């Protein structure tokens, strides 16, 4: 008999539930985030969400907008869920939310994040969504081993550029 997946709802991060995000991050991630991180999360609106299953926080995503070399990118600072809820669609729901924001905005060139080089589960997860390793940051993490991180990125402009090329090529051949 198949196991029913829990229903997952996304909710805002507010001053009233920010401590739940802190606890979740302490359980899920091997790094500690400072108070400034949590203060900043309260100011990003839709770029930070909690995932709830029957009113229990089971996951979260926190992002920010970065400018790099003239490109506007969405940076996933954290995306994680409690172990028992992995492979239940929580991460997918959180990542789908982030990708929808980027798509609807239309001004992001890419989405990127850092993943510890030994985190095969995360690497496989992001690969399924079209993220590619574009760089390795030596000694990225402090006080955890391995300290190196991959930079993963999913370009958002390739399709638009490709479609634009087709439009231009068609206009040339039909003129």
pLDDT of 4: 59
Least confident residue range of 38-47, 140-149, 164-173: 164-173
pLDDT of 157: 81
What average pLDDT does range 39-54 have in this prediction? 96
Q: Tell me if residue 97 is catalytic.
A: no
C-alpha to C-alpha distances, 3 to 8, 29, 83, 87, nearest whole angstrom: 15, 27, 16, 12
Checking if the pLDDT of 119 tops 60, the result is yes
Least confident residue range of 21-25, 48-52, 155-159: 155-159
Q: Which of 114, 126, 140, 141 is catalytic?
A: 114
For the stretch 137-168, pLDDT in tens is 999 999 899 999 999 999 998 544 444 443 43
What average pLDDT does range 95-100 have in this prediction? 97
What average pLDDT does range 112-126 have in this prediction? 96
**Mapping DSSP to helix (H, G, I), strand (E, B) and coil, where does residue 149 land?**
strand
**Mapping DSSP to helix (H, G, I), strand (E, B) and coil, where does residue 28 land?**
helix
Residues 6+ apart with CB under 8 A from 133: 123, 150, 151, 152
What average pLDDT does range 89-114 have in this prediction? 96
pTM of the complete model: 0.86
- For the chain, the C-alpha Rg in angstroms (whole number) is 18
What average pLDDT does range 124-147 have in this prediction? 95
pLDDT of 89: 93
DSSP string, 43-92: TSGGGEEEEEETTEEEEEEEEEEEEETTEEEEEEEEEEE-GGGTTTTHHH
Of residues 174 and 37, more confidence is placed in 37
Checking if the pLDDT of 172 tops 70, the result is no
**Cα–Cα distance, 131 to 32 (Å, whole number):** 25
Q: Which of 33, 38, 75, 150 is catalytic?
A: 75
Q: What mean pLDDT, rounded, does the chain reach? A: 89
Q: What is the DSSP letter of 135?
A: E
- Taking alpha carbons only, the member of 59, 53, 97 closest to residue 79 is 59
Least confident residue range of 42-51, 103-112, 161-170: 161-170
pLDDT of 165: 41
């Amino acid at each position: 008999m198949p196991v029913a997946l829990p229903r997952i709802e996304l909710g805002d991060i507010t001053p009233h539930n920010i401590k739940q995000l802190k606890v979740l991050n302490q359980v899920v991630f091997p790094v500690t985030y400072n108070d400034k991180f949590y203060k900043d999360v309260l100011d990003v609106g839709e770029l930070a969400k909690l995932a709830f299953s029957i009113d229990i926080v089971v996951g979260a995503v926190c992002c920010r907008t970065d400018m790099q070399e003239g490109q506007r990118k969405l940076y996933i600072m954290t995306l994680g869920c409690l172990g028992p809820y992995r492979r239940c669609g929580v991460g997918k729901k959180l990542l789908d939310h982030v990708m929808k924001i980027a798509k609807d905005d239309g001004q992001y060139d890419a989405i990127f994040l850092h993943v510890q080089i030994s985190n095969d589960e995360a690497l496989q997860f992001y690969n399924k969504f079209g993220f590619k390793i574009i760089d390795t940051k030596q000694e990225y993490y402090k006080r955890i081993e391995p300290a190196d991180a991959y930079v993963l990125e999913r370009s958002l402009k390739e399709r638009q550029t490709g479609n634009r090329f087709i439009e231009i090529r068609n206009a040339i051949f039909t003129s």
